Each structure stands twice: as C-alpha cells, then as structure tokens.
C-alpha cells in the first residue's frame, strides 16, 4: 500500500492573476510549478494548514474567505498525493520567497507556459475555464 499524503494548495488570486510557485531543487518534484501549500498536520483543519503553510513559505496572511476549488488524487512513485485546492486572497503582506525558487503571477491564458506538478493538471484545466479569473 502506498503512503497517502494529504496536501492543501492555495490558488492565490489578485487582479485576475494566480500566484504560481516553483518548487525547490532539493524537494520532491524539483523545479516543477505548484500552488503553494503543503501537508496537513495532525489536528489541523485543511484551512488552518493552508494558512500556516502560506505564512511559513511566503510570509503572507491569507484572508478567511478560502473557498474549496478542487480535490484530486495523483499516484507518484513516493506516494499518493490527495490535493485539495482553495481559492484565496491575500489579507496582508507581499509574497516573499523562503523556499520556492521563483513565483509568477499568471492569467488564465498564461497558465500553460510553466511545467506543473502532475497532480495539479486537472486544477489548472478547471482554472482555465473558470469565470473567477
Ligand atoms: N504544496 C503543493 N504540493 C504539491 C502540489 N502538487 C503536488 O503534487 N504536490 C506534492 C509535492 C509534495 O510531494 C507534496 C506536498 O508536500 P510539501 O510541499 O509539504 O512537501 P515538501 O516539498 O516540503 O517535502 P517533500 O515532499 O520534498 O518531502 O505534494 C501543489 O500544487 N502544492
């Protein structure tokens, strides 16, 4: 049985663009692009986990209006990632890199310009069709 990894990802929206983040060189899925976030810890709700991760990774405070957008499961060689994404907005701060290589703000038509983590492909597809962007 493969390890189940429960992950939350933030689709941070501002001015019709989404914040996309490039994973580090020394991480799993190195250099691929993702929705920033990470693993849910024991005792945390998904939204608590997401707010903590975004505070730690990007030094940003998310507003409380998190809205679930997608749930997907993807089997990697290292385990099964169960990824829940949320549409989010920034309450406070400017994105600051602490572990990602780079961030980009992309609009719908630009989302295909970067190489996404495989688990994110269905969410990117749905984003391209959504009215919220
Ligand atoms: N945060 C995030 N993780 C994603 C996305 N898509 C995707 O496959 N993942 C994977 C990458 C990781 O294996 C896992 C998230 O864990 P993490 O971000 O806390 O992991 P990590 O890089 O700190 O540590 P590690 O996996 O290298 O041990 O989910 C995504 O959009 N956002």
Encoded tokens for 59: 């030094």
Residue 26 main-chain phi, psi, to 5 deg: -100, 15
Q: What is the CA radius of gyration of the chain?
A: 14
What's the pLDDT at 16?
A: 96
Q: Which of 3, 25, 117 to mutate to test the pocket of ligand 1 (most atoms within 8 A of CB)?
A: 117
Question: Longest C-alpha distance within the chain, in Å?
Answer: 43
What whole-number distance in Å separates Cα of residue 106 and Cα of residue 126? 15
Three-class DSSP category at 53 = helix
Summarize the chain as % helix, strand, coil (round to 5): 25, 40, 35
C-alpha of residue 76 to centroid of ligand 1, in Å: 11
Is the pLDDT score of 133 beyond 90? no
Q: What is the ipTM of this complex?
A: 0.96
Rounded to an integer, the average pLDDT of 102-119 is 98
**CA 54 vs CA 103, 113, 128, 131: distances in Å:** 13, 23, 23, 24
In 3D space, the residue among 1, 8, 115, 16 whose CA is nearest the CA of residue 57 turns out to be: 8
Q: Establish whether residue 53 lines the binding site of ligand 1, counting it when its CB lies within 6 angstroms of any ligand atom.
A: no
The model's pTM:
0.97
Confidence of residue 132 (pLDDT cuts 50, 70, 90): confident
Comparing C-alpha atoms, which of 62, 55, 81, 59 is closest to residue 70?
Answer: 81
Domains of the chain (ranges plus CATH)? 4-129 (3.90.79.10)
Retrieve residue 90's tokens.
């920034």
For the segment 39-78, what is each residue's pLDDT rounded down to a tens digit?
A: 999 999 999 999 999 999 999 999 999 999 999 999 999 9
Distance 104 CA to ligand 1 centre (A): 18
pLDDT digits (tens, 9 = 90+) for 1-32: 899 999 999 999 999 999 999 999 999 999 99
DSSP code at position 110? G
Q: How far is the CA of 11 from the centre of ligand 1 (A)?
A: 14
């Amino acid at each position: 049985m493969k390890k189940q990894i429960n992950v939350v990802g933030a689709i941070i929206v501002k001015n019709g663009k989404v914040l996309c983040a490039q994973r580090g060189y020394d991480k799993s899925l190195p250099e691929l692009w993702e929705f920033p976030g990470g693993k849910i810890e024991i005792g945390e709700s998904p939204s608590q986990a997401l707010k903590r991760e975004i505070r730690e990774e990007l030094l940003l405070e998310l507003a409380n209006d998190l809205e679930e957008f997608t749930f997907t499961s993807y089997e990697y060689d290292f385990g099964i990632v169960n990824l829940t994404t949320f549409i989010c907005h920034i309450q406070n701060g400017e994105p600051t890199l602490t572990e990602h290589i780079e961030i980009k703000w992309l609009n719908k038509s630009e989302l295909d310009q970067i190489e996404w983590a495989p688990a994110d492909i269905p969410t990117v597809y749905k984003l391209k069709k959504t009215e919220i962007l």
